[in-house]
Amino acid sequence: MQQIYTRQVPIQIPVLAAGKGWLAADKPNGMTVHNESGRDICSLAAALVQGDPALKSKIAVDPDFGIHPVHRLDKETSGVILLAANREMFRFFSRQFESRQVKKQYVAILHGRLEAPEGNTPWGSWQWPLAKTAGGRQNPQGPSPRQHCETRFRILDHSMHYTMVEIEILTGRIHQIRRHAKLAGHPVVGDGRYGSPRALKYLQLHHAFDRLALHALSLTLYLPDGQTPVAIQTPGIPIQMKELFENDSALNPPKQFNITQEF
Q: Is residue 149 over pLDDT 50? A: yes
Angle at CA 192, nearest 5°, toward 191 and 198? 95
In the chain, ranges of CATH 3.30.70 domains: 1-99
Residue ranges, comma separated, of all CATH 3.30.2350.10 domains in the chain are 103-263
Q: Which of 13, 26, 21, 22 is nearest to 218 (CA)?
A: 26
- Fold of the domain built from segment(s) 1-99: Alpha-Beta Plaits (3.30.70)
Is CATH 3.30.465.10 what the domain over 103-263 is classified as, yes or no?
A: no
Mean pLDDT across the stretch 76-82?
97
Q: Is the peptide bond before 145 cis (omega within 30 degrees of 0)?
A: yes
Q: What is the pTM of this model?
A: 0.89
Pick from 3, 24, 17, 22: which is nearest to 60 by CA? 22
Catalytic residues: 74
% of the chain with per-residue pLDDT over 70: 90
Q: What are the residues whose beta carbons fall under 8 Å from the beta carbon of 99, sequence distance 6 or more?
A: none
pLDDT of residue 6: 40
Tell me the CA distances in angstroms from 259 to 151, 223, 249, one per residue in order: 19, 24, 17
Range 137-147 burial, b when 16+ CB lie within 10 A, else e: eeebbbeeeee
